[in-house]
């Protein structure tokens, strides 16, 4: 699953710099997560870094985006392959 940010977000900006993929950005009203870039930190860390730092716990798994660890790892590999260039 990719993560999502709920409307409980207070725009504190602590999650955005923690994302190793740059999948978190400021949306129209709250921060948002691009599900095409979110790997839940698979390949980088043991835990989701944005979830770890969020002071109000508004970053749950997105029930609309059920993805296996294998899918998340494949996304990580695709994203990081471009960094080697």
Delineate the domains of the chain, giving CATH numbers in brackets: 16-84 (3.30.70.20)
Alpha-carbon Rg for the chain, nearest whole angstrom, is 12
pLDDT surpassing 50 at residue 8? yes
Collapsed DSSP state (helix, strand, coil) of residue 61: strand
Using CA atoms, how far apart are residues 20 and 44, in angstroms rounded to an integer?
7
- How confident is the model at residue 54, as a pLDDT? 98
Alpha helices in the chain (DSSP H): 49-53, 69-81
- How confident is the model at residue 85, as a pLDDT? 45
Mean of pLDDT over the chain: 93
Q: What is the mean pLDDT of residues 24-33?
A: 96
Kindly state the percentage of the chain with pLDDT values over 90: 91
Band of the pLDDT at 14, cuts 50, 70, 90? very high
CA distances from 71 to 33, 60, 67 (A): 17, 18, 6
pLDDT surpassing 70 at residue 34? yes
Collapsed DSSP state (helix, strand, coil) of residue 62: coil
- How confident is the model at residue 84, as a pLDDT? 52
- What torsion do the CA atoms of 39, 18, 28, 9 make, to the nearest 10 degrees? 100
């Amino acid at each position: 699953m990719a993560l999502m940010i709920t409307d409980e977000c207070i725009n504190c900006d602590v999650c955005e710099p923690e994302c190793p993929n740059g999948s978190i950005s400021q949306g129209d009203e709250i921060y948002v997560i691009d599900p095409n870039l979110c790997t839940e930190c698979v390949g980088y860390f043991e835990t989701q870094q944005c979830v770890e730092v969020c002071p109000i716990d508004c970053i749950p798994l997105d029930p609309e985006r059920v993805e296996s660890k294998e899918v998340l790892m494949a996304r990580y590999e695709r994203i990081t392959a471009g960094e080697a260039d």
